[in-house]
Structure 1
Amino acid sequence: MHNTLYTHRRNLHAFLFLLLMLLPVALLFRNPQPASAAGFMASWPYKADRLESKQMVVVTAASARSQKGVLSLREKREGKWVTVLSGIPVTLGSGGIGKTKEGDKRTPSGVYPLGGAFGSAAGPDGLSIPYTRTGSYDYWIDDPSSAEYNQQVTYTGDPNRRWSSYERLLHPLYKYAIVLKYNEDPVVPGKGSAIFLHVWKGADQPTAGCIAMSEGNLLKLMKQLDASLSPAIAIGTADSA
């Protein structure tokens, strides 16, 4: 009887020890922690190098649910990243960041190349990135069933007969804009389209998934971008730690 009781106690102690060892792991998977500010700031330079980018727009949101963020511009000079612009307030998608599908109203998180600029106004002087002036026949297609999904198209016919969904580029918010090359290589139908940096409605007005800022700040950013530096954008979250 004594030996049996001793064996039961030993087995109980072993079980409790194993339970205490596994409990932190179980809690980790049950409540995954958000990426810290340090983690995001450490990861984008590595991804910039993979894109061979020497100019990076960095957009930081407080959390994945945030509708606002802060934008800065960094350049790699003599092997070190130097801040060129900082403290620019931006508005983000009404659904936060972390885009997963068309229409979710989220801004994509991650690192992406930047394309050229466009706008309904004449191109500003002194730009070092391509600029296209848009008119009443210019559209960006967000119809996932179209072969022209997530592309800019010039079309003189009735757009409603050609696409079930599209954006007119002759729009006040697109007086100036920069293309974010999200879902382009390859284009995946339904993953999301028409992601731009553009003029905001206001400091408290979220977007449908783009990144928006004041016209003055957007022009300031556009004039700093240099196509020869392969500009890209990094979008991520920063916790309060």
Structure 2
Amino acid sequence: MTGLLAGLALSLGLLSPLPENPIPPQSQQMLRVISADWNAVPAKLQRFERPNSETAWQAVGSAMPVVVGKKGMGWGQGLHSKALAAPEAFRKEGDKRAPAGVFRLGTVFGLARPETVKPWLKMPYLLLQDETRCIGARESVYYNQIVEQNQVKRDWKHDGDNENMKLDALRDEGAYRWGLFVEHNTPPDRVSGSCIFVHLWKGDGSGTSGCTALSKQNIEILLHWLDQSKNPILVQMPEAEYQALKAAWLLP
């Protein structure tokens, strides 16, 4: 890292020397989300792709407006090193911040029948059922997992600690009619938070509890494009931190 980048990293609270590049060499698709600063709610999402790790990332389509947490972002637990920043810079359960860092993208979920998405969806798919829950109860062995609660041993104290995902798809302006699981805090600790998704927004001025949200039109563009065989990732952080890490992590 050059002296200029090292100085920038230190001024931003990043530890120096920066940890090694966390971008998996097999990843050929990236969702990049950048906000103005740690407290900002609006952000921009840009798709990128590459044929292999030896070539540069190329932008796909136009940037999309998104929103992140109501309190902005904080470093999350993902593919990047925990040594990237001081412990107090990391998000915690319930703090209304979206996770910053590098994360794998997992299962798509929604209300569409599997047979209707099979012709075009190239990611794993979960149809939300009456019993589908994302477990937020810290005492549960299923913490930060999506389960059918009638198919597992109920080891949580309060049902209200878990997200009734189908109900949230039917109410709350349909936030979970389409969604995508972000592999933040997997395997989980009991501090960093649970149930982080990319999902439908309530509007361009309405932040989330810690997820990244966008319009129905744009999330459908994402879901038609994402391909599990290309090991897609989410790279999400404020602009200044992105610029400090860009060269070291070979980011576009």
* TM-score, structure 2 as length reference: 0.73
Paired position in structure 2 for 1:154: 148
Task: Provide the C-alpha distance between the structure 2 equivalents of 1:86 and 1:188, rounded to a whole number of angstroms.
Answer: 36
The one-letter amino acid paired with 1:165 is: D
Any conservation in 2 of the 1:48–1:56 contact (CA below 8 Å)?
no
* 1:54-75 Cα distance to aligned partner (Å, 9 max, x none): 1111000110111110001111
* 1:152-179 Cα distance to aligned partner (Å, 9 max, x none): 111249x886545011111221000011
Any conservation in 1 of the 2:121–2:224 contact (CA below 8 Å)?
yes
* 1:164-199 Cα distance to aligned partner (Å, 9 max, x none): 501111122100001100001x21012100000000
Which one is further off, 127-136 or 212-221? 127-136
- 1:96 aligns to 2:72 (yes or no): yes
Paired position in structure 1 for 2:184: 182
Paired position in structure 1 for 2:23: 48
Paired position in structure 2 for 1:166: 162
What is the Cα deviation at residue 82 of structure 1? 1.1
Alignment coverage as a number of residue pairs: 203
Paired position in structure 2 for 1:215: 216
* TM-score, structure 1 as length reference: 0.76
Task: Provide the C-alpha distance between the structure 1 equivalents of 2:201 and 2:13, rounded to a whole number of angstroms.
Answer: 27
Pick from 61, 74, 85 the counterpart of residue 48 of structure 2. 74
Paired position in structure 1 for 2:128: 134
The one-letter amino acid paired with 1:196 is: F
147 and 174 in structure 1: CA distance in 2 versus 1, 3 angstrom threshold: same
% identical aligned pairs = 31
The one-letter amino acid paired with 1:64 is: W
What is the Cα deviation at residue 104 of structure 1? 0.5
Paired position in structure 1 for 2:196: 195
Paired position in structure 1 for 2:107: 116
Paired position in structure 2 for 1:87: 63
* 1:186-227 Cα distance to aligned partner (Å, 9 max, x none): 210121000000000111100000000001100100110011
* 1:14-51 Cα distance to aligned partner (Å, 9 max, x none): xxxxxxxxxxxxxx8xxx63389xxxxxx9x943235x
Any conservation in 2 of the 1:35–1:237 contact (CA below 8 Å)?
no
Structure 1 portions without partners, runs of 5+: 1-27, 37-42
Structure (1 or 2) with the larger CA radius of gyration:
1
Task: Provide the C-alpha distance between the structure 1 equivalents of 2:237 and 2:214, rounded to a whole number of angstroms.
Answer: 17
